[in-house]
Structure 1
């Protein structure tokens, strides 16, 4: 008898009843569809930057190429959100579980990276320094990478990873005697101190030979502090802003995990109801 069944027993519902909420189902679909479009845009931009803009260097310096990083993130995001879209529309538990597990793993990895970065801040700083120095080595090999480094040095008012002499690691700016480059012992123009009160033509060669100039004299022309220290100081000054950004990235992930778990639970209840109804039709006295 129905009265002897549990509160959530399938026998308490009509055959036309559905546990799957259209609100949860289509909200999850819209959520994934929006991020799927963002992933498509990231892939398109990455392909354009990697192939169309400089096809001749398509295999150069993949490890520090911003376009390649954008492509990798875009592809991963495309796969995950595609599974979320199809899984929510088709009410497919396997796709929804893959979507939910993927988001959970990404969230936990981000959390672990933040905690480990805080605990092992010195090692993390050394690793970032190595990455920046590696990017400096390939400065002239990739226009996107060059623009990214120039943008960072201008925005933070810095030069090199730890100091402006780090530019000697680049083959064009190397300060050895046998370097035939016209930029020998120089630093990029983005290292230069540009004062806005001057109206004359800016000297784009202001970084010429700055690596062999005395530190005091060089500091009057270029930024001599490394970008790592500048970025660390900026982080310490903007902890609340960075916390808000981190929270803004975490909330969509948690919302996606919550909605997918709700929909998976509803689909399972619906399958149980359907199985009960099939058994009830086969054996009405059951």
Structure 2
């Protein structure tokens, strides 16, 4: 007599079933898996570049935001730093999720990419806004800080920051004052009025940061740069003063921002492409598992 199969066999023993086997990746899925791993290595390199650029701009070039009278440059720097740090985590999650075929980590990877994409868009918008603000309002703000805050009341942190930023900008961007040949702004400043113990005939027309240095870091002619009254800076025109910067910091600052923006745009495009590819790969692998 034949007995059919059921939950128990003919002797009453429990039936054993094969354990559930998760669906494996096909050849296309395996290809995407390793492409995703390679892409996350590119993410790692981009993270290093973006993180380094953000720290460089925040630590060494913060004078741009101070002298231009806006915090957007500082905010954009922090966004670069945060984006770089997040990309490190993304690269880790992507590698582990792809190699181990872990669905949870793939979901986390996808969500993190979306957040970073939004963060990157915010940074790009701030960069566009900051660039659009560089106009007459910025030139006026620079002139006012030079006249009223530079070199005076240095016990106040704001004035101290303004003074340091102006000196750093003039030294590193090889410029002086706001516009080209605008040394007269210093003669109308509070800094010029309150120089203690300096005879009137010896008072410097510009600070040392407006003076040129040679390749060894020594002033070419500091005294002539600061006090010469037979031409610039004592007079608006005259014989060329070889120790003095003639170019204004407004145009030099604009050019610096334009140059840096080119790097940021390049990194941003590369990251956007990688993020979109990463979201596609992670979604594809998730569906395959």
Length-normalised TM-score, structure 1: 0.56
Question: 1:8 corresponds to which residue?
Answer: none
Give 1 or 2: higher helix fraction: 1
Q: Distance in 2 between matches of 1:42 and 1:161?
A: 21
Q: Distance in 2 between matches of 1:84 and 1:144?
A: 33
The answer to whether the 8 A contact 2:183-2:233 is kept is no
Q: What SS is found at the alignment partner of 2:287?
A: helix
Task: Return 5+ residue gaps in structure 2 as ranges.
Answer: 1-22, 95-108, 153-159, 215-219
Change (3 A) 1:152 1:219: farther
Cα deviation code 1:241-286 (max 9, x no counterpart): 9977654431221110111111112212222333xxxxxxxxxxxx
Q: What SS is found at the alignment partner of 2:114?
A: helix
Q: Distance in 1 between matches of 2:269 and 2:143?
A: 32
* 1:229 Cα deviation from its structure 2 partner: 7.3
Structure-to-structure mapping, 1:122-137, within 5 angstroms: 124-135=135-146, 137=149
Change (3 A) 1:149 1:250: closer
Q: What SS is found at the alignment partner of 2:227?
A: coil
* 1:74 Cα deviation from its structure 2 partner: 4.8
Task: Return 5+ residue gaps in structure 1 as ranges.
Answer: 1-13, 51-61, 196-200, 236-240, 275-286
The answer to whether the 8 A contact 1:192-1:207 is kept is yes
Length-normalised TM-score, structure 2: 0.56
* 1:86 Cα deviation from its structure 2 partner: 0.9
The answer to whether the 8 A contact 2:43-2:91 is kept is yes
The answer to whether the 8 A contact 1:193-1:223 is kept is yes
Change (3 A) 1:72 1:110: closer
Structure-to-structure mapping, 1:36-55, within 5 angstroms: 36-39=51-54, 45=59
Look at both structures and tell me which one has the larger radius of gyration over its CA atoms: 2
Question: 1:95 corresponds to which residue?
Answer: 112
Question: 2:6 corresponds to which residue?
Answer: none
Aligned residues: 225
Q: Distance in 2 between matches of 1:193 and 1:34?
A: 32
Q: Distance in 1 between matches of 2:238 and 2:222?
A: 17
